[in-house]
Structure 1
Amino acid sequence: MENNNFKSGYVSIVGRPNVGKSTLLNEIIGEKISAISSKPQTTRQNITFIYTDSEAQIIFLDTPGIQKPKNKLGEYMLEESKAGIEDADVITYIVDTSNIIGKQERVIIDILKEYKDKLPIILLINKIDTVKKEDLLQVIDMYNKEEIFDEIIPISALNADGVDIYIKTVKDYLKEGPIFYPEDMITDRNERFIAQELIREKALKYLQEEVPHGIAVEIEKFKKREEKDLYDINAIIYVERESHKGIVIGKNGQMLKKIAQESRESIENLIGSQVNLQVWIKVDKNWRDKDNSVKRFGYN
C-alpha cells in the first residue's frame, strides 16, 4: 500500500450496554464478528475490528458495556473496558437518543473526564432513526454542555447513516503511521472464537430474560475433515441452573435445534465451507461467580 501520508491507530469504543457498539463495528467491517443482542452483557471482552482503506488503518476495540460489576464476570468486563481505553489513540463514546443522562452514562462520562486533555473523544449519538430532528438537537445540546467531546456525530448504525462521516472524522485525529495488519484482515480473533460468538448470539436471540446472562459457549472441537470441504464443530452451551438447561433444550428439543441450525448457517457463511455442528447443554452452577470458570470460558 503506497501512501506516504498513511495513518493508523487504535480507537476504543465505549458505552453502556445496548447502545449499538457491536452493530456499528459489524457495519464498518462488513462482517458479523461480535454477538449482537438487545440484552445487556452481550459483549464480554475486548474484540478487535480492523478497518483498512487506501488512507488509513483503524483498529477498533469493541469493549464490554460499562456498568457496576455484580459478579466475577462483571469485574472482568469492567477491567476489559478500562484496558481498552488505556490502549487507545482516540476514544469513541456511543450513546442513544435518550433525553436524560442516566446513572450509567454519568459513570462513563466521569471516567472519560480523566482523558479529556490526553486523548481526542468523539461522541456518537446512535439510533437517530428513532427520534425527531428537534429532539435530537436537544440531546446534542445536553451532551455539549459536558464540555469533554471534541466531536459530536449523530448516526444510525442500523442504517449506516453517518458512519462514513464518523470514519472520516477518526482519520482526522489519527497520526501518520504504519500498517499493523494485512489489508484483508478484519479481526485478530480466529474462526473458532467467532463461531463461539455466533452460537452465543443465537442463544441470546431466542432465550428468556433470566437465561442469557448465565450462558457461556465453549468450542471443544473445530476441525476440517481431510480431503473434504467440511468442518466438524462440537460446542457446549453452559448455563448456571438445572432449570435453565430445560429452557435451552426446549419442548422436544426444538429450542436447541433452532439455535444450532441458525448457528450452523452463520458459521458456514463465515468460513465458506459446510459445517457439521453438534451442540450440547451442560450446567456449571453460578459460573459467573467462580474465578476458575470465568477464566476457563476465556474471560481472563
Structure 2
Amino acid sequence: MTDTNRSGFVTFVGRPNVGKSTLTNALVGEKVAITSDKPQTTRRAIRGILNRPGGQLVIVDTPGLHKPRTLLGQRLNDLVEQVLGDVDVIGFCVPATEKVGPGDRRIAESLGGYGRAKKVAIVTKTDAASRDQIAERLMEVDALREDWAAVIPISALTNDQLDVVSDELLALMPEGPALYSEDIVTDESIDDRIAEIIREAALDGVRDELPHSIAVMVREIAPREGSDLTDIFADIVIERDSQKAIIIGKKGSRLSDVGARARAQIEPLIGSRVFLSLHVRVAKEWQRDPKQLGRLGF
C-alpha cells in the first residue's frame, strides 16, 4: 500500500452505446453491468468496485442520458441527475470511431452543472479506430471544455490504457479509507444480477421498439433438495400481448435460446448447475404506470 489511500465514486456519462458499461466491466475485471447494442440498456445505478494499490474506485454505471418518452424514461434521467450530483469524478465518454456531434456537445456542456465533481474525458473504442481518427477525436473532445483534468484514449476490449485511466481517476479521488471490503466486486444483489443477465439475453436480436418494454423479475431462487441443482423462477415482463409471441418465438424456440444463454452466465456466478424456468407475462403499459414501475423496482 502507498502512504496515501484514496477512495471515491466515479461515473461515466455519454450518449447511449459509447461503451460505458463495457468500460465499467473491464475496470472491475468482472461482468457487473450488462451490455447491448440497444440504447438505454442500463436501468439501475450499478456499483462496480475496483481495488488498486493506492485505494479504491467505486464505479457507478448509470443509464445513458436521453429524451424521456415515458415515466420510466423520466425516472432513469432523474437517477442519472442524482448520481452526477453525488460522485467525485465524472468520466465523459466519446467513441474514437465517430465524430463529436450535437448530443456529445450537449452532455459535455451540461457537466458544468455538477461543480463538485472533477471531469475527465475518455475516448473509447480505440481498437476499432485508425491513428488519425483517434488524434482527431482527442482534439475535438479536448476543445469541448476547458476544465478536463485529463483526456485519455482507451480500449476496454483490448484493455489498452485501462491502468492509465484507473490511476488517473484514483489520483483525483479524496483521501480516505476503502468504502467496501476488498473481496466485493459489486453491491448489486444476486437477484438483481440474475435478472439483468436474463434481460441481456432477452434483448439480443429483438426489434427496435421492444427493448424498452422488457423487464425481468426473479421470483424465486432455491437449491433443489437432494441435488446439486439450483431452481430459478423468473418472469420476463412485457407491455403488450403482441410482444409475447416475439419473445417466445416459434414453438418456444426463442425463449429456450434466451434461457440457455442466461443459464451459461448464471451458473458461474452462483457456482451451481441451474434449472431456469422463464415465464413471459404481460403488464399493460408498465413503463407509464407508477404502481407497476414500483413493483418492478423503479
TM interval, shorter chain, is: over 0.9
Match of 1:233 in 2: 232
Instruction: Tell whether the 8 Å contact from 1:199 to 1:259 is kept in structure 2 after alignment.
Output: yes
TM-aligned CA distance change 1:21 to 1:99, over 3 Å: closer
Q: What SS does structure 1 have at the residue aligned with 2:42?
A: coil
Match of 2:132 in 1: 134
Structure 1 residue 210: deviation in Å?
2.2
Instruction: Tell whether the 8 Å contact from 2:97 to 2:126 is kept in structure 1 after alignment.
Output: no
Structure 1 residue 84: deviation in Å?
1.1
One-letter amino acid of the counterpart of residue 243, structure 2: H
Structure 1 residue 228: deviation in Å?
4.3
Instruction: Tell whether the 8 Å contact from 1:94 to 1:123 is kept in structure 2 after alignment.
Output: yes
One-letter amino acid of the counterpart of residue 288, structure 1: Q
Match of 2:55 in 1: 56
Deviating above 3 A after TM superposition, structure 1's stretches of 4 or more consecutive aligned residues are: 98-101, 225-229
Partners of 1:55 and 1:25 in 2: CA distance: 19
Is 1:280–2:276 an aligned residue pair? Answer: no
Structure 1 residue 104: deviation in Å?
2.4
One-letter amino acid of the counterpart of residue 129, structure 1: D
Match of 1:150 in 2: 149
User: Which digits, 9 at most, give the CA deviation of each residue in 1:249-300, with x for residues without a partner?
Assistant: 001110000001111111001111111110010111221111111221111x
Q: Percent identity?
A: 37
Partners of 2:248 and 2:5 in 1: CA distance: 51
Partners of 1:33 and 1:145 in 2: CA distance: 33
Structure 1 residue 39: deviation in Å?
0.5
Pairing of 1:79-158 with structure 2 (within 5 A): 79-97=78-96, 99-115=98-114, 118-146=116-144, 147-158=146-157
Structure 1: 5+ residue runs without aligned partners?
A: none
Instruction: Tell whether the 8 Å contact from 1:231 to 1:275 is kept in structure 2 after alignment.
Output: yes
Instruction: Tell whether the 8 Å contact from 2:88 to 2:116 is kept in structure 1 after alignment.
Output: no
Q: What SS does structure 2 have at the residue aligned with 1:185?
A: coil
Instruction: Tell whether the 8 Å contact from 1:99 to 1:138 is kept in structure 2 after alignment.
Output: no
One-letter amino acid of the counterpart of residue 213, structure 1: H
One-letter amino acid of the counterpart of residue 110, structure 1: E
Q: What SS does structure 1 have at the residue aligned with 2:203?
A: helix
Structure 1 residue 224: deviation in Å?
2.5
Partners of 1:4 and 1:296 in 2: CA distance: 47
Match of 2:35 in 1: 36
Partners of 1:127 and 1:67 in 2: CA distance: 21
Q: Could you tell me the TM-score, scaled by structure 2's length?
A: 0.95
Instruction: Tell whether the 8 Å contact from 1:15 to 1:108 is kept in structure 2 after alignment.
Output: yes
Structure 2: 5+ residue runs without aligned partners?
A: none
Q: What SS does structure 2 have at the residue aligned with 1:112?
A: helix
Instruction: Tell whether the 8 Å contact from 2:100 to 2:137 is kept in structure 1 after alignment.
Output: no
Aligned residues between the structures: 297
How large is the Cα RMSD of the aligned pairs?
1.6
- Say which is worse superposed, 42-51 or 229-238, in terms of deviation: 229-238
Pairing of 1:165-180 with structure 2 (within 5 A): 165-180=164-179
Partners of 1:172 and 1:4 in 2: CA distance: 13
User: Which digits, 9 at most, give the CA deviation of each residue in 1:106-125, with x for residues without a partner?
Assistant: 3311210223x532101111
Pairing of 1:261-272 with structure 2 (within 5 A): 261-272=260-271
Partners of 1:224 and 1:53 in 2: CA distance: 35
Instruction: Tell whether the 8 Å contact from 1:113 to 1:148 is kept in structure 2 after alignment.
Output: no
